Structure 1
Amino acid sequence: MSALYDEIGVDYADLRKPDDRIARRIDAALGPARTVLNVGAGAGSYEPTDRDVTALEPSAEMIAQRPSGAAPVVQGAAESLPFADDSFDAVMAVLTIHHWADQAKGLAEMRRVARQRVVLLTFDPAHRGIWLLDYVPALAELDAAQMPPLDFYREHLGRDVVIETLAVPRDCTDGFLYAYWARPQAYLDPRLRKGSSSFWKLSGLDEGFARLEADLASGAWREKYGRLLERPDYDAGYRLVIAPAG
């Protein structure tokens, strides 16, 4: 992950601005925790400001983009957290598990250092109701290859795991992969696509984006998907995973 984000990290903070509505859901999932470790913290998105937060991030480029006043950061990997057992009330990880070399070990490490709970924002690779896949079907294959299925969290975090749907607001300020579900023209902007690691990992996407551009111009996209534009938010496959520690 570190090498990829050393390249992607340029402009990352500008493209991935935390959405307040998503932040509130993550904050609620952390419960009463006072001390929090943020694993794969990046530039600091969704770190609570009213708790004692420590960040862990492998990429030097991402660390350099953390704003002044952000939580203290340690450079390191999820699979080998440099902290003692039960060091934090809660451990969080936001849209990062697909970059881990050993996902099971990373989850075990999160459980090891958490006293109360583990919270992840992730994506369900079984969710296929996303119109973008009609234009870029390779995304579905990539999601299946890199995102753990939901049962993986139950296997490695315990059967008491709670998994909640996190609907994406139509005007989401964050630029993660499926955030622009109601703004299809955004996917035609190469700069906005830079905010998602998936587009860095795939090649040969020009034909799909050309079809999207043509369908937007002809009205075909609106005819097929325009009903979505009436929704305030949408289940694009993102899930909150909340597990008691231990």
Structure 2
Amino acid sequence: MTAPADGHPPSTPTYDRIGPGYRDIRRPDPRLSALIHRALAGARTVVNVGAGTGSYEPADAEVTAVDPSQVMLDQHPGRRRILAAAEDLPFEEDAFDAAMAVMTVHHWPDVRRGLREMRRVSRRQVVFTWDPHHLTELWLIEEYLPEIRQLERSRFTPLSTVVEALGVHTVLPFPVPHDFTDGFQIAYWRRPEFYLDPVVRRASSTFALLPASVVEPAIARLRADLASGAWHRRHAGLSARDSVDYGYRLLVAGEGGAGTT
């Protein structure tokens, strides 16, 4: 495993804090995995930017994992692990067939620079992210934690900006299944009791960035509504839905890849 050229790992307080135990909650979902792998089909060498613990990496490619958090890289099972930031990838031009980035661009201090780096080092780019302008909103935000709305919209780059910066040719929606296994914030839209678990919340950067003085009273209200049946009465319709489009999108740019825009 190689450190950045200057020898100083980037500052990553959020993921250094939530990293321990991350893999137990953030388990790759096979449906999202299939979508990403189709977009990466044919790539023999792949760099995973913001790799974390290695979720969604294709098993049939040589993958190099890049992440600014040593805590996260220590949980990555691969042999090629590089401690570095997206904005300064230590690779030559076109070093990889493809570059992938899954739910990470919103953590990059300079998104445009990071996307330029992805284009520089690879011939195809595959990015999974969220559109902050998408209208359908998780009930948790509307009813319990409206503070999430401001936080998420401040840190997620508009989808149009990412599309323009990458030169995206394919945009694929990903409606979140009701039994989604990757426990980021939206995963439990039909399983509200999971939000009561502090271990589950700790695996989400959103909850990690909000103060306990905001989160705990909101979770207490949710717990009370679940106990009284109020939540289930308000959201009875969700039980009949298999998936909901909350604005998550897979973007494909560069050479290769298939899908519809």
Q: Deviations over 1:77-105 (max 9, x none)?
A: 10000001111111000111111110010
- Aligned residue number for residue 146 of structure 2: 137
Percent identity of paired positions between Structure 1 and Structure 2:
49
Q: Deviations over 1:123-143 (max 9, x none)?
A: 111124211112111111111
- Aligned residue number for residue 166 of structure 1: 174
Q: How does 1:86-235 map to 2 (within 5 A)?
A: 86-115=94-123, 117-127=124-134, 128-134=136-142, 135-158=144-167, 160-203=168-211, 204-235=214-245
Q: Distance in 1 between matches of 2:166 and 2:209?
A: 28
- Aligned residue number for residue 72 of structure 1: 80
RMSD of aligned Cα (Å): 1.4
Unaligned 5+ runs, structure 1: none
Contact 2:163–2:251, Cα closer than 8 Å, also in 1:
no
Q: By how many angstroms is 1:45 displaced?
A: 0.7
SS at match of 1:161: strand
Q: Distance in 1 between matches of 2:120 and 2:60?
A: 24
Moved more, 123-132 or 186-195: 123-132
TM-score (norm 1): 0.93
Q: By how many angstroms is 1:71 displaced?
A: 4.7
SS at match of 1:148: coil
Q: By how many angstroms is 1:12 displaced?
A: 0.7
Q: By how many angstroms is 1:207 displaced?
A: 2.2
TM-score (norm 2): 0.88
- Paired residues in the alignment total 241
Q: Distance in 2 between matches of 1:236 and 1:224?
A: 19
**Where does structure 1 differ by over 3 angstroms across 4 or more consecutive aligned residues?**
none
